[in-house]
Amino acid sequence: MKLILIKIQPLINFEGKITCSSSKSYSHRAFFVALMADTPSYIINPLISGDTEVTINFCISLGATIEKFEKSNIEIKEIPLDISDSDSIYKIVPPPNLKQPIGSLDGKNSGTSIRLMTALTPLIPGQITISGRFFKLKRPLKPLLEALSSLGISWEYLDNNFGVKINPCYSDAIEFKIQGDVSSQFITGLLLLAPKLKSAPSNPNSIINLTTPTVSTPYLKITDEIMKKFGISFQVDLNSENFLRYTIPTDQKYQGQIVKIPGDYSSAAFIIATAALNPYPSEVVISNLDPNSMQGDKALIKILQQMNADIKVDEHSQSVVIKGGKFLDGTKIDCKDTPDLFPILCVIGLFSNNNTILYNLQHVRTKESDRVSIMIRELQKMGAIIDSIEDNNAILIEGPQQIRGIKILHEDDHRIAMALTVAALYARSESTTVKPEIVNDSYPDFFKDLKLLGADIIGLS
């Protein structure tokens, strides 16, 4: 396969209006929950490329029928939402019972897809094998498998980190114990599974007890929102160790729903940052951003405002307005709940006055790549002064800096690719990158939107 090389020129102008792409996090959860519902669901404007495509294929392999639906074929009473002609509608018909997939399932490097699929294996009849680049990168899965072992499942990793083979064993309600500081996706997976377990005479509830504090907590709030939308009830409180505890009644049924996927703050972050870094007077407007969304990455707006950026949120139009011409001030930022913001925060730090410190980075190293090491490596290639501190749990970025263009090596991490593209726009010379399609994992229109707002990117079809 021929690799596509694109060239990124230093930015001259950046202004205009775009519509934010759909949330990957909401799309993943909506498809998996619709898979388990007792009636069909309609998902409006889901992200269907990259990682979410993996989830869609997983759902189909378990027996779901998923098809794009034309608005003209849907009765008005079925869709009591304001649907425009530009909205995409997908109908999901769940199977009466989840079926055993045929052959190995390729999860690629989609952590959400693989972890949620793993959590649902107790509901599937027969052995399941999941493979993918995720395993070659040795991304964490074992804590989830060990928690599921309390249900009686057995599992083994395949040779050469190729994947995992799971032998399901369905059982009644039980107490799960799981770490909260490795990946919130472990907890999300158990939350999706718990309502489908059968009640035991002595225990009508499933319990999820966390054994450590949580990271990426806003993603758990998204899970909560989707589950409640599909009719599931549960309680959240603190256990004796002051960590989160979920109590989920068993024998519940997911009820088919109509879900409109909101815009993705995680993707918008790259455009917001590019606009905020623009030293010249300009205005960028991003629509389809709900200010009341549970998404943790909307925190970037407050972070940038505190750094002296001119950003306003219009709740009525659900849009964000960013004006250029401001010089940002460096600051100290906790990345515990926003690991997906880490790459673009590195870039923002480069061009801010004074130093920027990013900390609480343990789980950032186990995302689609070791984002800490790769961002340090690539930005140092650009001439930046950036180093690990505090036992590698934080980094210090000196600013403001001038950087040069490079050949970008994003290691197949979509957020690394996008963050380094933003850095390249403010470099003094041309940068290049291969495999730009990696951005399809979360933001298929990334380069299109950059060009629409004035970026000069050569080599895209």
How would you class 72 by CB atoms within 10 Å of its CB: exposed for 0-12, middle for 13-18, buried for 19 or more?
Answer: exposed
How many angstroms separate the CA atoms of 185 and 51, rounded?
14
Helix axes 299-306, 265-277, angle to 10 degrees: 20
Q: Contact, 50 vs 414, CB < 8 A? A: yes
Q: Which residues, 6 or more positions from 261, have their beta carbon under 8 angstroms from its beta carbon? A: 22, 23, 26, 27, 30, 43, 44, 45, 46, 47
How many angstroms separate the CA atoms of 252 and 210, rounded?
22
CA torsion, ordered 174, 112, 18, 225, to nearest 10 deg: 0
Q: b/e map of 82-107 (b: 16 or more CB within 10 Å)?
A: ebeeeebbbbbbbeeebeebeeebbb
How many angstroms separate the CA atoms of 21 and 7, rounded?
23
Give me the residue label for tokens 């388990």.
Answer: 36
Of the candidates 143, 21, 188, 185, which has an alpha carbon nearest to the alpha carbon of residue 88?
21
Does 441 qualify as catalytic in the annotation? no
Could you tell me what percentage of the chain is helix, strand and coil, using 3-state DSSP and rounding each to the nearest 5? Answer: 35, 25, 40
DSSP states of 76-91 as a string?
A: GGG--S---TT--EEE
How many angstroms separate the CA atoms of 17 and 155, rounded?
50
Residue 263's H or E segment, with its range, is: none
The active-site residue out of 340, 413, 441, 449 is 340
Show which residues are catalytic. 340
